[in-house]
Amino acid sequence: MDDDPVVETGFTSRTAVEPPEPFVEQANVDESDVAAFDASWPECWRRAADLLEWETPTDEVIDRTGDRVSWFPDGRLNAAYNCVDRHLAERKNQAAIKWVGKRGETRTYTYLDLYHEVNEFAAALRSLGIEADDVVTLYMPAIPELPVAMLACARIGAPHNVVFAGFSAQALAERMDRAGSELLVTCDGYYRRGNAVHQKNKADNARIMASQEVSDIVVVDRLGDEEVHLGDGYHDYDELVADHHGAEVEPVTREADDELFVIYTSGTTGQPSGIRHTTGGYLAHAAWTSHAVLDLKPDDTYWCSADIGWITGHTYLVYGPLALGTTTMLYEGVPDHPEKDRVWELIERNAVDVFYTAPTAIRAFIKWGADHPDAHDLSSLRLLGTVGEPINADAWWWYYEHVGNGECPIVDTWWQTETGSILVSTVPGVDEMKPGSAGPPLPGIDATVVDETGESVAPETGGYLTVTKPWPGMPLDLPADGEPDDEDWRYVTEDAARIDDDGYVTVLGRIDDTVTVQGHRLGTMELESAIADVEGVAEAAIVDVQTPGGGSTVHAFVSTDEGHKGVDGLRERITANVERTIGSFATPGVVVFTPELPKTRSGKLLRRLLKDIASGQELGDTSALRNPEIVGEIESALDGE
Ligand code: 6R9
């Protein structure tokens, strides 16, 4: 390895970086593990299952004879038992969850504390009539009661449905209805940049909007400073837990294929779709990748900065690290409050070993300046990770140098809500890293890039990223092509990618109609209809535009009804409606008004052209347009922004 790869290689994108030797020496997974794993598919996955404690160990690794693929088909286990109880013997006094609240307060749950509260809340859920297979909706920010409630659900076999706290009442009602959920756990409110957000009001409204009757609402007292009026059907979390003080609830035995949770994600349709993850395959895959890719060890303090409301928070803040008996940090605040060095201060103060974040956060750190991380002692860090979108080589190098001090490997992990856990990444103690490229498919994972006809393309050629063998973390009802036992069974991922001669996958971005807004995946149709519903708006088109720093900004192009052009307040009403139907986090970065959207003669909206206009690209042939004159108008409207 070069003495100083950063200085030696500079900021080029194609340079390969060897993992630092001190890391390699202590890594959970080495070359021989990888070779052994690669040699025996699907048997290799038994190793992932072996990281868990099964009530009935699994005989078979995979069953492809039914109408869907089943992993560890005869195994039985309980996820909460695996994430809590089994660690008591060795680490009951070790921190399981270290929480840092919005106002600097901290709370630590040892594994024993977690055991008690999970049991007590599980008993409380039972007292409210919740049994195995009843769906419980959880609508909370980053407070410890959220993972506690998830594990309490898992303990009694009730799938949870975590809804991101930033979603609006309407979005919450829709997700409760779709999941058929009768019980909601929320909080009175929380602080966002110093202001109290009244979460319970949103929950109250969702209860009114939902078609499904929401019979009970449990409310966590987060604000603590006022008496919250709880009416009929409302229960105070602390009182419920106190009422069940000391309760112990036998973990409910689940089949490997029983649903652990449902999570809603945006896809190609205008509606969010529910992805249901399994108990055995999902947890095994989450634990295995936390072990092999994030290199977690029980005595690590680990920080995943994702919100639990998204899949990354489920898998790599809660289930993966707790399955391995690690200390997982939960941070309620934002990265630049009270100061822009907040993240580095927390890493230093808590001696964080492994830090997992998103490229969008890294780009913000870069903007705020290297002085912030440079001013802190980050030497506790051993490994860094990224997830959520491609990381450009410059951001990769900044992260490597200023956060990792050239001593920590970076794992650029590719996966999706649908995959449950990481599928593509370097194995940090084994593979060299190529900044800008996620890495090879993990051992046990087969992926290829195909063209429109489904044929694999030559190396370095762009196409559709396709996973060609099942993996344990696959959800129930995966939209896969082919019968479960077909040789050519495959899952087409909705991502464009290319693969180089060494098998490294570079992800180019989504090919479906989804956009990333503040790091969260949203459907263009969800956003477009939230805008088009506003009085005075005729049509809306959403496009994601790359910004020079490697990020992207969501542009909304809005055509207005006659007479509404330039009417005061339209922009504000659009923002308000996006906030009402989806949530304020989803507001587009740029809104451009235009008399018409560019359409082909057959009436098809040309999003591509809008994207080119917005990113200042050379425009191709616009002769297919029915209204070519509109291009100039949109360009000048955009200039006025
Ligand atoms: C885990 C998560 C999934 C989409 C996925 C892809 C993008 C995720 C990435 C990445 C490039 C990476 N994505 N990780 N793109 N490099 N390392 O983010 O799930 O919210 O479902 O989004 O995110 O486009 O298809 P989800």
Closest atom of ligand 1 relative to the 438 alpha carbon: 17
Nearest residue (by CA) to ligand 1, atom 20, is: 521
Residues 594-603 have pLDDT tens digits of 888 888 776 7
Ligand 1 pocket test, candidate residues 414, 422, 546, most atoms within 8 A of CB: 414
What token pair was written down for 578? 């996006």
Distance CA 356, CA 425 (A): 13
C-alpha 283 – ligand 1 centre gap (Å): 19
Ligand 1 pocket test, candidate residues 360, 387, 424, 522, most atoms within 8 A of CB: 387
Nearest residue (by CA) to ligand 1, atom 10, is: 389
Closest atom of ligand 1 relative to the 510 alpha carbon: 24
Closest atom of ligand 1 relative to the 509 alpha carbon: 24
- Can you give the pLDDT at residue 562? 66
Instruction: Report which of 388, 360, 174 is spatially closest to residue 274, judged by C-alpha positions.
Output: 174
The pTM score is: 0.90
Residue that is written with structure tokens 């990792």 in the block:
404
Ligand 1 pocket test, candidate residues 507, 510, 522, most atoms within 8 A of CB: 507
ipTM value for the complex: 1.00
Distance CA 190, CA 221 (A): 9
- Can you give the pLDDT at residue 200? 94
Closest atom of ligand 1 relative to the 493 alpha carbon: 25
| Pairing status of strand 62-63 against strand 70-71 | antiparallel
Q: Which residues line ligand 1 (CB under 6 A)?
A: 265, 310-312, 387-390, 412-417, 438, 494-495, 507, 510, 521
8 C-beta neighbours (distance < 10 Å), count:
11
Burial class (CB in 10 A: 0-12, 13-18, 19+), 159: buried
Ligand 1 pocket test, candidate residues 415, 491, 518, most atoms within 8 A of CB: 415
In sequence order, what DSSP letters do the residues of 423-470 get, joined into one string? -B---TTTSPB-TTS-BSBPTT--EEEE-TTSPBPPTT--EEEEE-S-
Closest atom of ligand 1 relative to the 310 alpha carbon: 20
C-alpha 527 – ligand 1 centre gap (Å): 19
C-alpha 415 – ligand 1 centre gap (Å): 5
Burial class (CB in 10 A: 0-12, 13-18, 19+), 563: exposed
C-alpha 507 – ligand 1 centre gap (Å): 9
Distance CA 441, CA 458 (A): 17
- Can you give the pLDDT at residue 567? 65
Neighbouring C-alpha atoms within 13 Å toward the C-beta of 203:
31
Q: Which domains does the chain have, with CATH numbers?
A: 35-333 (3.40.50.12780), 447-509 (2.30.38.10), 514-639 (3.30.300.30)
What token pair was written down for 634? 């949109």
Instruction: Give the start-end residues of each E strand in 307-372.
Output: 327-331, 354-357
> Do residues 560 and 591 lie in contact, with contact meaning Cβ atoms separated by under 8 Å?
no
> Do residues 364 and 408 lie in contact, with contact meaning Cβ atoms separated by under 8 Å?
no
C-alpha 41 – ligand 1 centre gap (Å): 25
Residues 6+ apart with CB under 8 A from 91: 111, 298, 325
Residue that is written with structure tokens 């921190």 in the block:
95
Could you say which DSSP state residue 361 is in? H
Instruction: Report which of 510, 575, 511 is spatially closest to residue 540, judged by C-alpha positions.
Output: 575
> Do residues 300 and 327 lie in contact, with contact meaning Cβ atoms separated by under 8 Å?
yes
Nearest residue (by CA) to ligand 1, atom 2, is: 416
Residues 579-595 have pLDDT tens digits of 998 998 899 989 999 88
| Residue ranges of the chain whose pLDDT lies below 50 | 1-13
> Do residues 160 and 125 lie in contact, with contact meaning Cβ atoms separated by under 8 Å?
no
Nearest residue (by CA) to ligand 1, atom 22, is: 416
Ligand 1 pocket test, candidate residues 293, 396, 495, most atoms within 8 A of CB: 495
